[in-house]
A = this chain, B = another copy of it.
């Protein structure tokens, strides 16, 4: 019986979520007080705040970042930037993504009557095995680079780093001011946490 298969998508294996995660993590390498919120990270980078708000909890769940709640809450790296590899990040976001989506079509051969014969059963399909080797080699490469390597390779000039720090500081101050004003005019109750 023919299985129902369709043509795959045209996009890459890793997309916006992985890109958001990696870029955002670079901004967490330098400890900041208060820590950067997901919203500020998104605004600073010009990326979707709603998507980043789904990405950051995945990084937290995987133990790559830690969050603090409250008005000035935000994210910080949960371990050293030299201890988080690109593979860690990719795995945190897309744990189940595989290079090859094997449907075991070998089992569908008309001569098998629905059961793999002895000479084939219990062995990984040879085609799948090649794909697994390729995936493994890809992952090894991703495990070679840490967040620290990345940020060193980017080589942010000092003035840019200072501009960024100023932007984050001003943003936090502006948010705080607008919150206070809102509380004063009674439009909003004070935040509880």
- Report, as a range, how many residues of chain A touch the other chain: 35 or more
- Please encode chain A, from 54 to 94, with 1 for each CB lying within 8 Å of some chain B CB and 0 for all others: 10000000000000000000000000000000100000001
> Does A5 lie at the interface of the complex (its beta carbon under 8 Å from any beta carbon of B)?
yes
Determine chain A's interface SS by DSSP, over half rule: helix
A161-180 near B? 1/0 per residue, CB < 8 Å: 00110010000000000000
Whether the Cβ atoms of A138 and B99 lie closer than 8 Å is yes
How near does chain B come to A98, taking the closest CB pair, in angstroms? 4
A15 CB-CB contact with B under 8 Å: yes
Check if A130 sits within 8 Å of B14, measured CB to CB.
Answer: no
Write the A25-62 contact mask toward B (1 if CB under 8 angstroms, else 0).
00000000000000000111111110100100000000
A127 touches B3 (CB 8 A): no
Give A10 Cβ to nearest chain B Cβ, in Å.
Answer: 7
From B5, B11, B96, B154, contact of A47 by CB (8 A)? B5
Encode contact with B along A127-141: 1 for CB under 8 Å, 0 otherwise.
Answer: 101110111111111
Which residues in A have some Cβ–Cβ distance to B below 8 Å?
1-20, 22-23, 42-49, 51, 54, 86, 94, 96-103, 105-106, 108-111, 117, 119-120, 126-127, 129-131, 133-142, 145, 150, 153-157, 160, 163-164, 167
